[in-house]
Structure 1
Amino acid sequence: MTIQKIDVKYTAVATAENGRDGRVASDDGKLDVVVNPPKEMGGSGAGTNPEQLFAAGYSACFQGALGVVARQEKADISGSTVTAKVGIGSAESGGFGLEVEITASIPNVDKDTAKALVEKAHQVCPYSSATRGNIKVELNVA
């Protein structure tokens, strides 16, 4: 597999303390959250968790990619939303793995156009590029 080379424009920095049961903060102080395992995984569920943070990042990034594609295609995506569901569970090979379900709601275009926009956004989104071939990513249109 070839590693993609990029011209870095920005680098996000975050530091975790005590892993999945502690705290995560960005170096600029804009993000500072308590993380705890969800109740479904034996944790307290009191704070957020890495999967929620990943889902938030992926959905925001995918929405941005959808905007790029829509501008190129001259499609109206006003009022659209992107929801990312990130599942975690035991992997067949051992340890844990992730899977993602992306659902886009694009009310101002027909379903076929929405599907085409989502497919194109999946090719543009950096999160999609990072996960492609590594984990299951399902694309849906609401």
Structure 2
Amino acid sequence: MSLRISQSLSRAVLRPSPSTLLRTSIISRRFQSTQQKKDLPILYSAHAKVVGARKGHVEAESLNVDLTMSKALGGPGDAGKTNPEEMFAAGYGACFQSAMNAVAAKDGITMPTAPEDSIVETTVHLIGDMQKLDLGLRVDMKIMVRGLEMEQIKGIVEKTKNVCPYSRAIKGNVWTEYTVVKLD
């Protein structure tokens, strides 16, 4: 059984519900205050150095990877190399799954412990018009969980959208479609 949940850019930007508006304004004020006063503690910082753009190299404390321009964008799509969209998909998927685990634990729900029983597949699409330099992202995320009821999974996913730092960062800016699947 699966369920699709879409985050509509037009709804998020043009017609937010009163509860969303209240919640968003509280969250926004909190982080605006943080940006102005820098009063929240930094939990972790990641730094990466990119040399050569999409055909270059990325170095970070625990990452050392070569980049390639995908074939779809006119590049060679070199095997063994990655691109910004793959890195975003991996980061977002891992972050969302970790946030799901935290949300479930806070709600007293035990997530499956076997890695194959809780899977997040994330596809990041580069969209727009290259000629006009009018580019953006679209995300499709498939969340598959075994051992929980569909309503539990849907509830965890809904709460996770407001907890995951990636979800919060792209909210209202990136069309995101969530598909929830209960694994048998």
Separation in 1 of the partners of 2:167 and 2:41?
18
The whole-number CA distance in structure 1 between the counterparts of 2:54 and 2:138 is 18
Where structure 2 has 5 or more consecutive residues not aligned to the other structure, the ranges are 1-24, 35-39
Say which of 99, 124, 127 aligns to 1:86.
Answer: 124
Task: Assess if the C-alpha contact under 8 Å between 1:37 and 1:45 holds in 2.
Answer: yes
Q: CA deviation at 1:10?
A: 1.4
Bigger helix fraction: 2
Per mean C-alpha deviation after superposition, the further-off stretch among 72-81 and 122-131 is 72-81
**Once the two structures are aligned, what percentage of the paired residues are identical?**
35
**Which has the higher relative contact order, 1 or 2, with Cα contacts under 8 A spaced 6 or more apart?**
2
Which 4+ runs in 1 deviate beyond 3 A?
A: none
Q: What runs of 5+ residues in structure 1 fail to find an aligned partner?
A: none
1:1-142 → structure 2 map (5 Å cutoff) = 2=28, 4=31, 5=34, 6-26=40-60, 28=61, 30-46=62-78, 47-78=81-112, 79-90=117-128, 94-142=133-181
TM-score, normalised on structure 2?
0.71
User: Distance between the aligned counterparts of 2:110 and 2:77, measured in 1?
Assistant: 39
Q: Which has the larger radius of gyration?
A: 2
* Equivalenced residues, count: 140
SS in 2 for 1:105: strand
Question: Residue 76 of structure 1 contacts residue 108 of structure 1 at CA under 8 Å; is this kept in 2?
Answer: no
Shift of 1:68: 0.6
Q: TM-score normalized by structure 1?
A: 0.90
Question: Contact 1:83–1:102 at 8 Å: present in 2 too?
Answer: yes
The alpha carbon displacement at 1:59 in A equals 0.4
Q: Specify the SS of the correspondent of 1:113.
A: helix
